[in-house]
Amino acid sequence: MEKRTDINTLGEFGLIEHLTKDVTVKNPNTLHGIGDDAAVIDAGKDALLISTDLLVEGIHFDLMYTPLKHLGYKAVVVNVSDIYAMNAVAEQITISLAISNRFSVEALEELYEGIALACKMYNVDLIGGDTTSSPKGLTISVTATGRAKKEDIVYRSGAKPGDIICITGDLGAAYLGLQLLEREKQVYLAAPGVQPDLEQKKYLVERQLKPEAAKESIAYFKKKKIQPTAMIDISDGLASEVFHICKSSKVGAFIEEAKIPIHPEAEEMALKFSLDPTMCALNGGEDYELLFTIDEKDLQEIRYMPSVYIIGEIVDAKDGIKLHTSGGNIHDLKAQGWKHFEDKA
Ligand code: ADP
Ligand code: MG
């Protein structure tokens, strides 16, 4: 019998690694291919950055509680975020859609209102895409391009022992927003007359449905001439992103649980759901803040950044990736991340 390996045995990152392990780069202007938030292409004086992301109905969004305008906005933001994660400025996007006939022209106009709003907010141009039919549901693929001076680009691989680990905003709220929306959906399905009251939980719901990319942080680095040593955007939860930086940079990390920023509303909601707020920050995802490391010499300037949290330090690889808990224990950080394949099997 022919060999058949279930994709769940590898997980998302293992699968990408497996499929791309023999990929080589032939063109000298491909400066950096697979393995970072965006690919880097030599474009003369500057470098061109390219990143792509796919959003699938039923996996990444549920239209029962996701307004199409927000979805359009988010689809752009999550791509722009990957360009920022390279310390670059986003400039263009393309949008590709697979749509079933369940969607009306008016519905798609709403989607495009959100796309246009994000293009305006982040100063990017919509320059193309593709449109096709789908047997069921909606799929959105966005590709973003950006630009940076070659020497300004920040990879996941530049962190070194002694560097300070920072993040640009609080974590876990988007995940808790999702839990809340999912719960309200179940309540609604059980008793369709009952309208959910989400007014009190605006922050969490917004973090989930209408995230923002860390534009100001990139502008601050530029203004202050600070170059992070490594950077990644937090799409899969802090733990997973710390692992990516450590793996690429061949270092370890020491994270202080007490320093991980968690919004009071997120903390409260986590406790209501009997979840550990720290676990939500570590493994929740979709925060779209930046995780970056800086040389110790830049610490003073970084302290003045409008939104920054210092959460730990890069250590030698042999010292591992550790979490110093608020209770005073030190244990190995575990990355769970999203498990789309398992969740939706
Ligand atoms: P991010 O979370 O920043 O969008 P991913 O985890 O999706 O990054 O991807 C990690 C790296 O693997 C990126 O360089 C991405 O371009 C690459 N990659 C992801 N999926 C594929 C694929 N199917 N084929 C080739 N490269 C891929
Ligand atoms: Mg990313």
Q: What is the pLDDT of residues 210-255, one digit of tens each?
A: 999 999 999 999 999 999 999 999 999 999 999 999 999 999 999 9
The average pLDDT across 131-159 equals: 97
In the sheet where 89-99 sits, what is the strand order? 30-32, 39-43, 46-56, 138-149, 89-99, 125-133
Q: Which of 24, 31, 34, 241, when mutated, tests ligand 1's pocket best, judged by the most ligand atoms within 8 Å of its CB?
A: 34
Helix (H) or strand (E) holding 94, with range, is strand 89-99
The CATH code of domain 164-332 reads 3.90.650.10
Across residues 174-198, what is the average pLDDT?
A: 87
- What CATH number was assigned to the domain covering residues 7-152? 3.30.1330.10
| 196 pLDDT above the threshold of 80 | no
Confidence of residue 338 (pLDDT cuts 50, 70, 90): very low
Measured from the CA of 232, which atom of ligand 1 is nearest?
3
19-36 average pLDDT score: 95
Distance, CA 187 to ligand 2 centroid (Å)? Answer: 33
Encoding tokens for residue 64?
Answer: 């029962």
Ligand 1 centroid, distance to 37 Cα (angstroms): 7
> Would the pLDDT of 344 be above 90?
no
Residue 188 vs residue 119, higher pLDDT: 119
- Confidence at 3, pLDDT banded by 50, 70, 90: confident
- 342 pLDDT more than 50: no
Of the candidates 169, 159, 167, 168, the one whose C-alpha atom is nearest the C-alpha of residue 295 is: 159
DSSP 100-135: -TTS-HHHHHHHHHHHHHHHHHTT-EEEEEEEEE-S
The pLDDT of residue 336 is above 70? no
Residue 335 or 90, more confident: 90
Residues with CB under 6 A from ligand 1: 16, 19-20, 34-37, 53, 82, 235
**Domain boundaries in the chain?**
7-152, 164-332
